[in-house]
Structure 1
């Protein structure tokens, strides 16, 4: 096994273990901290795929900003066991069944995936995750959806200011 394969399997095991700990942890703050570990391991996978830009954006946006926001919200909510509604076993069973169905869909999607020749050619050159290629694809092939999403975000910001503004 090469060092890359060892690192891949280590990051995969770390991501799966941390994701399970997010679900199993009783303390919500511990769950958020385990989720940060998941994001770091996913960023490691991005680096292994030569997608350094995605790795840095994942760390800055998710592990940085979103997780800090989650921690503040959890700390401000003052969660207690007495205030948390207890779920009956039927709801838990429905969650397990829905999770198993989602896993089945994911497995069937992975099995039926077709190999794309263009991405295979880019993988051989090592240029697949570079920012230059991402920019070319974004502004050549997807410029209209990119501009429409920026207008959508701008209108959402204006709407949030209007709603938050006092009379």
Structure 2
């Protein structure tokens, strides 16, 4: 149980560093570390599939893409647009709503009973594979064909037309 609290402390620490970091590249790197602590939480919860998906998709693909985009944009104070007063007021209202939601959820923290799983191997990939390749085989294959056709279309749109050159 002490490992859980240590990883939870690291998650909160890295999330706060994401928010308060001045350098956007450092902020993205702290976000990658935050997602890594989430992966450890998933492993502690015996949800291996979620841990692997979080590790590969979020840390490996999306966050590295964010890092490259931020590095390519070369953000600085001179290119930052001036925000209007309406945008600032809307952000304060949104932050207040978020704070009210967090306070209400912390107040209701001790009310609910803990959830006890009947089977300990609920989050294993084996069970997901049985369902995915059993009763959902056709939708799974159709979605893979749709993703493949979208990838081929993106490659065709990205290549230059040789006849016009």
TM-score, length basis structure 1: 0.75
Q: In the superposition, relative to structure 1, how do residues 97 and 20 fare at CA in structure 2: closer, same or farther (>3 Å)?
A: farther
1:21 to 17, 37, 40: 17
Distance 1:149 1:95 in 2: 37
2:62 is aligned with 1:60: no
2:148 to 118, 136, 154: 154
Distance 2:89 2:136 in 1: 42
Q: Deviation string for 1:122-154 (max 9, x for gaps)? A: 2xxx21121111211222343344233212211
Give the drift of 1:92. Answer: 3.1
Q: Structure 2 unaligned runs (5+)?
A: none
Q: In the superposition, relative to structure 1, how do residues 144 and 20 fare at CA in structure 2: closer, same or farther (>3 Å)?
A: farther
Q: Residue 131 of structure 2 corresponds to which residue in structure 1?
A: 137
Q: Residue 164 of structure 1 corresponds to which residue in structure 2?
A: 158
Distance 2:86 2:4 in 1: 38
Q: In the superposition, relative to structure 1, how do residues 152 and 83 fare at CA in structure 2: closer, same or farther (>3 Å)?
A: same
Aligned residues: 154
Give the drift of 1:96. Answer: 3.8
Q: Residue 127 of structure 1 corresponds to which residue in structure 2?
A: 121
TM-score, length basis structure 2: 0.76
Distance 2:96 2:7 in 1: 24
2:86 is aligned with 1:97: no
CA RMSD of aligned residues (A): 3.0
State how 1:104-119 maps to structure 2 within 5 Å: 104=101, 107=105
Distance 1:131 1:20 in 2: 32
Q: Deviation string for 1:95-125 (max 9, x for gaps)? A: 2433454673995xx99xx99x9x8322xxx
Distance 1:75 1:156 in 2: 27
